[in-house]
Amino acid sequence: MIPLRFLLAAALFAGAAHAAPLKTDLAKSSVSATFKQMNVPVEAKFKTFSAQIDYDAAKPEASKATVDIGTASMDLGDPEYNREVAKKEWFNTAQFPKATFVSTSIKPAGADKLNVAGKLTIKGKTADVAFPLTVKAAGKQQVFEGQLPIKRLAFNIGEGEWKDTSMVADEVVIKFRVTAGQ
């Protein structure tokens, strides 16, 4: 017979346990930024990023997420443009090699929808952000998709002559799709 204290300990442990952090499937995931240059939409993909997601569909408010994006990995489709955005006036990748999002709140917002709030840090500047997110099952994986609109100048992206928003708009939309599973 199992002693009662072991049964109680097992029950407490099971009740305190939550979903294990999910493993990101980078081949099925993407992060990009869309903005307008001279009023023409441009999409740049980030080739390097990681996401740590601890998601429990039964208790979404207990979930957490952290996303790190390698700023030097921004790909505008042209090596010269890629070198330009790495410079001090733009991302200053030598001093600030990554942008980071850390969730502070994840709340249910209807079927397959969550409202996420957190801290976004780019180029040493941190701001509170919030955005809607969809989450859908894809086999044994979860797919998290969303868009986060930001103002680039709030993060000093585009200094000096590049503060002029007639060439590059202030509005940027960070789009992401993260596929992850156990």
pLDDT at 57 (0 to 100): 87
Q: For residue 7, is pLDDT > 50? A: no
Contact 32, 46 (CB under 8 A): yes
Average pLDDT, the chain: 90
pLDDT at 14 (0 to 100): 38
pLDDT at 2 (0 to 100): 45
- 122-166 pLDDT per residue, tens: 999 999 999 999 999 999 999 999 999 999 999 999 999 999 999
pLDDT at 9 (0 to 100): 36
Contact 38, 76 (CB under 8 A): no
Q: What pTM was computed for the model?
A: 0.86
End-to-end CA distance of the chain: 34
Which pLDDT band holds residue 19 (cuts at 50, 70, 90)?
A: low
For residue 59, how many C-alpha atoms fall within 13 Å in the half-sphere facing its CB? Answer: 10
